[in-house]
């Protein structure tokens, strides 16, 4: 949450980047314009993988330039995971496969982005990204090679270029959600720069083709191609437990992995038969050693969710959401939702710093389509704030009421509010107020003591269960079922004594 906050005001996305580098902000804005301008000229080209002619809106030189410009924004908005040893490991595997791909001469780049979301994605021109979130769920080096090879396949077959072409033909058909209904739109802030196009879904045919290419690139370089169906199986099992924070997850951008397992498994058998007696690399032990100590879940630099609490040691504040709610932290906002009903809370940065909080708060909400019913100035844990009840229309809810606070803290004004339909609002207003009143500054000592959860390696002992191992990590850190999936185990089977597994340890 340190990099960018966004809120839809009057039909346009307003972005507030929390950085002291104005030249970088200008470059990002201008880069976004260039991304769109590059679509102006289209032509027929030969697909490097199929050899067929196709209509695309980018030449290869434009593809490289768009990737280069967008890479700057990806790095700025998402952040690069600060582990050079792990970055080099991923880059070495990726470059090896790219060199034997259908487009070896592209300026290939492989980067781990600092996100808990479970995903990997590709930009045109050879820019591949993998989140640290997905690395926790891969079981060995062959599976990592499978993921990277899959994304290389998207680039070599020009799937991203084709997706850009389709999106431009549909007039960049991106829909950004309304204020205070953020839970399904964690990446809205990037739409204005064109990066939102990165997360359009590929078609099923594209996915199957990339599965095949990933397996081919892997086996060509000596990795077991079975890593591709293995990682697809794991990701398919994560549908109910996957982390959607920060960027769309693999399941939302790479559709239907479970149904593709059988198809790619048949391809893998053919590739293994061709490899004959050649020894194919799996390397579970080496992979585990490299991710030992990696951050799991939120990075405190971006704010961290602990149960129902959200703490931000860098921006030095904390708050508590209603008990039992699902809390999601992203680069743009912190959102919480009642798991049983369409009731939301959101924390984000106000549109402007608001010299006059009361006047600015009312105007901010009015521009978003909400009129004030009641409200006034107050203090919240020593901080100046305006708290009001507003009425308006919300997507999916109809007529809605919102309880919203604008709180000044360390030269910024934060907007913290709850939203529910008119019928439900009276029942949850007290919960909204309790969360709003929980917003407080963090002391320097408190901030210093907030540490990330991390991956660790553990040898299973006699009598260990997934439930017991998860409980040792601490409350709400990881579910037993998620821990089992992380280690490639059926959730109805317990770990075997002597096995070396991944666990999560509290910060």
The length of the chain is: 507
Confidence class for position 8, pLDDT limits 50, 70, 90: very low
Give whichever of 18-32, 214-228, 254-268 has the largest mean pLDDT. 214-228
pLDDT at 77: 81
Largest CA distance in the chain: 77
CA dihedral of 353, 358, 363, 366, whole degrees rounded to 10? 130
Token duo for residue 223:
């990795």
pLDDT at 167: 61
Lowest mean pLDDT among 85-99, 279-293, 443-457, 464-478: 464-478
Give the 3-state secondary structure of residue 112.
strand
Mean pLDDT, to the nearest integer, of 438-463? 96
pLDDT at 159: 86
Lowest mean pLDDT among 60-69, 189-198, 365-374, 496-505: 189-198
Confidence class for position 448, pLDDT limits 50, 70, 90: very high
Tell me: the pLDDT tens digits for 368-379? 899 999 999 999
pLDDT at 255: 62
CA distances for 376 relative to 245, 308, 390, 408, 443, angstroms: 33, 27, 12, 14, 28
Write out 140-195 in H/E/C secondary structure. Answer: CHHHHHHHHHHHHHHHHCCHHHHHHHHHHHCCCCCCCCCCCCCCCCCCHHHHHHCH
In the sheet that 398-409 helps form, which strands lie side by side, from edge to edge? 326-329, 334-337, 344-349, 412-421, 398-409, 383-394, 371-380
Mean pLDDT, to the nearest integer, of 339-363? 88
Mean pLDDT, to the nearest integer, of 454-479? 91
pLDDT at 168: 58
pLDDT greater than 60 at residue 313: yes
Rounded-to-integer distance, Cα 476 and Cα 389, Å: 32
Confidence class for position 251, pLDDT limits 50, 70, 90: low
Mean pLDDT, to the nearest integer, of 252-272? 82
CA distances for 167 relative to 73, 109, 177, 186, angstroms: 19, 24, 18, 20
The percent of residues in the chain predicted with pLDDT above 70, rounded, is 79
For residues 129 and 213, the answer to whether their CB atoms sit within 8 Å is: no
pLDDT at 170: 45
Token duo for residue 426:
């009276």
pLDDT at 373: 96
Mean pLDDT, to the nearest integer, of 189-202? 47
pLDDT greater than 50 at residue 475: yes
pLDDT at 73: 85
pLDDT greater than 90 at residue 204: no
Tell me: the pLDDT tens digits for 11-51? 222 333 333 333 333 333 334 434 444 444 456 778 888 87
Rounded-to-integer distance, Cα 304 and Cα 331, Å: 11
Mean pLDDT, to the nearest integer, of 300-328? 93
For residues 164 and 201, the answer to whether their CB atoms sit within 8 Å is: no
Nearest to 111 by CA among 98, 124, 100, 120: 120
Mean pLDDT, to the nearest integer, of 323-336? 85
pLDDT at 239: 66
The larger pLDDT score, comparing residue 500 to residue 171, is at: 500
Mean pLDDT, to the nearest integer, of 63-71? 88
pLDDT greater than 50 at residue 291: yes
Nearest to 194 by CA among 16, 333, 79, 29: 29
Query: 344 forms bridges with which residues in the sheet?
Result: 337, 419
pLDDT at 39: 41
Rounded-to-integer distance, Cα 438 and Cα 441, Å: 10
Write out 4-57 in H/E/C secondary structure. Answer: EEEEEECCEEEEEECCCCHHHHHHHHHHHHHHHHHHHCCEEEECCCCCCEEEEC
pLDDT greater than 80 at residue 424: yes
Lowest mean pLDDT among 239-253, 428-442, 453-467, 468-482: 239-253
pLDDT at 307: 84
Rounded-to-integer distance, Cα 126 and Cα 106, Å: 6
Lowest mean pLDDT among 8-12, 129-133, 187-191, 389-393: 8-12
CA distances for 377 relative to 111, 362, 369, 417, 507, angstroms: 46, 11, 21, 15, 38
The larger pLDDT score, comparing residue 65 to residue 188, is at: 65
What phi, psi does 256 have (nearest 5°)? 55, 55
pLDDT greater than 90 at residue 217: yes
* Full set of structural domains in the chain with CATH: 4-296 (no CATH), 300-445 (3.40.1000.10), 453-505 (3.10.350)
Tell me: the pLDDT tens digits for 70-126? 899 889 888 999 999 999 999 999 999 999 999 999 999 999 999 888 889 888 899
pLDDT greater than 90 at residue 151: yes
């Amino acid at each position: 949450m340190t990099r960018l906050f966004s809120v839809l005001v009057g039909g346009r996305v307003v972005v507030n980047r929390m950085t002291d580098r104005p030249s970088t902000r200008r470059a990002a804005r201008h880069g976004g314009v260039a991304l769109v301008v590059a679509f102006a000229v289209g032509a027929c080209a030969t697909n490097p993988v199929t050899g067929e002619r196709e209509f695309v809106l980018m030449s290869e030189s434009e593809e490289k330039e768009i990737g280069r410009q967008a890479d700057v924004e990806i790095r700025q908005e998402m952040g690069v995971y600060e582990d050079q040893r792990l970055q080099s490991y991923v880059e070495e595997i990726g470059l090896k496969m790219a060199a034997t791909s259908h487009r070896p001469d592209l300026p290939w780049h492989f980067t781990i982005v600092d996100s808990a979301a479970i995903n990997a994605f590709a930009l045109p021109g050879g820019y591949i990204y993998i989140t640290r979130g997905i690395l926790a769920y891969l079981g060995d080096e062959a599976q990592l090679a499978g993921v990277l090879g899959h994304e290389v396949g998207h680039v070599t077959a020009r799937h991203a270029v084709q997706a850009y072409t389709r999106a431009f033909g549909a007039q960049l058909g991106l829909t950004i959600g309304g204020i205070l209904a953020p839970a399904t739109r964690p990446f809205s802030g990037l739409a204005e720069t064109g990066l939102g196009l990165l997360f359009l879904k590929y078609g099923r045919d594209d996915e199957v083709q990339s599965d095949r290419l990933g397996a081919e690139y892997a086996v060509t370089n000596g990795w077991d191609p079975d890593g591709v169906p293995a990682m697809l199986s794991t990701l398919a099992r994560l549908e109910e437990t996957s982390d959607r924070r920060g960027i769309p997850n693999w399941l939302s951008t790479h559709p239907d992995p479970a149904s593709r397992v059988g198809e790619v498994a048949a391809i893998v058998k053919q590739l293994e038969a061709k490899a004959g007696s050649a020894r194919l690399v799996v390397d579970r032990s080496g992979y585990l050693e490299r991710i030992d100590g990696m951050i799991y879940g939120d990075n405190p630099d971006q704010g961290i969710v602990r149960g129902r609490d959200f703490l931000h040691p860098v921006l030095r504040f904390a708050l508590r959401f209603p008990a039992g709610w699902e809390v999601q932290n992203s680069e743009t906002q912190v959102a919480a939702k009642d798991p049983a009903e369409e009731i939301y809370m959101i924390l984000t940065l106000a549109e402007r710093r608001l010299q006059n909080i009361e006047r600015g708060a009312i105007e901010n909400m009015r521009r978003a389509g909400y009129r004030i019913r009641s409200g006034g100035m107050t203090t919240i844990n020593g901080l100046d704030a305006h708290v009001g009840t507003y009425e308006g229309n919300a997507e999916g809810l109809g007529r809605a009421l919102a309880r919203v606070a604008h709180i000044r803290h360390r030269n910024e004004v934060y907007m913290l509010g709850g939203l529910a339909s008119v019928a439900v609002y009276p029942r949850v207003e007290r919960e909204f107020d309790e969360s709003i009143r929980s917003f407080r500054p963090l002391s320097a000592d408190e901030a210093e003591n907030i540490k990330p959860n991390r991956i660790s390696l553990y040898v299973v002992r006699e009598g260990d269960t997934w439930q017991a191992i998860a409980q040792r990590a601490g409350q709400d850190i990881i579910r037993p079922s998620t821990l089992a999936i992380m280690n490639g185990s059926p959730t109805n089977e317990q770990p075997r004594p002597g096995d070396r597994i991944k666990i999560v340890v509290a910060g």
